[in-house]
Amino acid sequence: MITIRSASERGSANFGWLDSRHTFSFGNYYDPAYMGFSSLRVINEDKVASGQGFPTHSHRDMEIISYVIDGALEHKDSIGTGSVIRPGDVQRMSAGTGISHSEYNASKENSVHFLQIWVLPEKQGIEPGYEQTYFSPEEKQGKLRLVGSHDGRDGSITIHQDMNLYAARLTTDEQVDYTLQAHRAVWIQVVRGGINLNGSLLSAGDGAAITGSETLVITGQTDDAEILLFDMTA
């Protein structure tokens, strides 16, 4: 079964410096029908104005993944990590027993547009950690490239959860297929452009929850389509 989560139905928050869209309940946005999906807890699409950002704040017991769409995001945390996350990078911060961090737009001129994704960890109290890996556009073009996994295989980042995270870029009519196994669930998030998912048209910001054994046929509807596909326990 495929259930579409339209971008226009998401929650929102706009603070001037931050324009955020919430796929699942977050902050002041609450929808009991969208508290998460399997181990996915948050998918926020954030646009942060130049020179602005999130000052130092704390998290516990959460896997936090950042995926930059445009611009550059500067990260600093209490375990000594400092980095700039750019398009193509996939960054995972394990909050575990507790971590403090800040996130700022690295540019004084341009906004930064990114997805912040929270995944419930397989257990609480793990050691805080950080990992960041770059995946070129060529690695994702016309194929589902594994960018995150429980065991970090094939050069993917490690996620402390039974999850496989794929990224793909598609041009118009370019197609990838994915077979959903029994007792698994898939969430597809359209990062940019548009796709056809088993006959349903999805655009940037749309999501889809898929359950039950099913073969997914994903076809690009624009020349710049980009998706994330999360495969998790049902």
The verdict on residue 2 lying in a domain is no
Is residue 3 situated within a structural domain? Answer: no
Are 142 and 109 contained in the same domain? no
Boundary-marking domain end, from 135, 161, 180? 135
* Residue 214 pLDDT: 81
Q: Are 229 and 165 in contact (CB under 8 A)?
A: yes
* Single residue among 118, 135, 152 that ends a domain in this structure: 135
Residues 84 and 107 in one domain: yes
Domain check: are 212 and 171 in the same one?
yes
Which tens digits make up the pLDDT trace of 87-134? 999 999 999 999 999 999 999 999 999 999 999 999 999 999 999 999
206 is a domain residue:
yes
Is 144's pLDDT higher than 90?
yes
Nearest in space to 149 (alpha carbons), one of 95, 92, 97, 212: 92
- CA 70 to CA 86: how far, in whole Å? 7
Write the pLDDT tens digit of every residue in 29-86.
Answer: 999 999 999 999 999 999 999 999 999 999 999 999 999 999 999 999 899 888 999 9
Dist. CA 54–CA 63, nearest whole Å = 18
Cβ 13 vs Cβ 29: under 8 Å? yes
Residues 173 and 82 in one domain: no
Are residues 102 and 64 part of one domain?
Answer: yes
In a domain, 36, yes or no: yes
In a domain, 5, yes or no: no
Is residue 12 over pLDDT 80?
Answer: yes
Query: Cα separation of 100 and 189, whole Å?
Result: 27
Residues 145 and 202 placed together within one structural domain of the fold? yes
- Residues 6 or more apart whose CB falls under 8 angstroms from that of 182 comprise 213
Structural domain includes residue 156: yes
- For the full predicted model, state whether its pTM sits above 0.85: yes
CB atoms within 10 A of CB 129: 17
The letter for the amino acid at 164 is N
b vs e for 157-194, b when ≥16 Cβ sit within 10 Å of the residue's Cβ? bbbbbebbbbbbbbeeebebebebeeebbbbbbbbbbb
Q: 23 and 68: one domain?
A: yes
Query: Is residue 49 located within the same domain as residue 117?
Result: yes
In a domain, 1, yes or no: no
Instruction: Please indicate, yes or no, whether residues 179 and 118 belong to a single structural domain of this protein.
Output: no
The CATH number assigned to the domain holding 107 equals 2.60.120.10
What string of H, E and C letters represents the secondary structure of the chain? CEEEECHHHCEEEECCCEEEEECCCECCECCCCCCCECCEEEEEEEEECCCCEEEEEEECCCEEEEEEEECCEEEEECCCCEEEECCCEEEEEECCCCEEEEEEECCCCCCEEEEEEEECCCCCCCCCEEEEEECCHHHHECCCEEEEECCCHHHCEECCCCEEEEEEEECCCCEEEEEECCCEEEEEEEEECEEEECCEEEECCCEEEEECCEEEEEEECCCCEEEEEEEEEC
Query: Contact, 94 vs 126, CB < 8 A?
Result: yes
Give me the domain span that covers residue 177.
138-233
Same domain as 168, residue 99: no
Domain boundary among 108, 135, 162: 135
Pairing of strands 145-149, 157-158: parallel
> What total number of domains does the chain contain?
2
Q: Are residues 122 and 77 in the same domain?
A: yes
Q: What tens digit of pLDDT does each residue of 159-215 get?
A: 999 999 999 999 999 999 999 998 999 999 999 999 999 999 999 999 999 998 789
Is residue 113 located within the same domain as residue 149? no
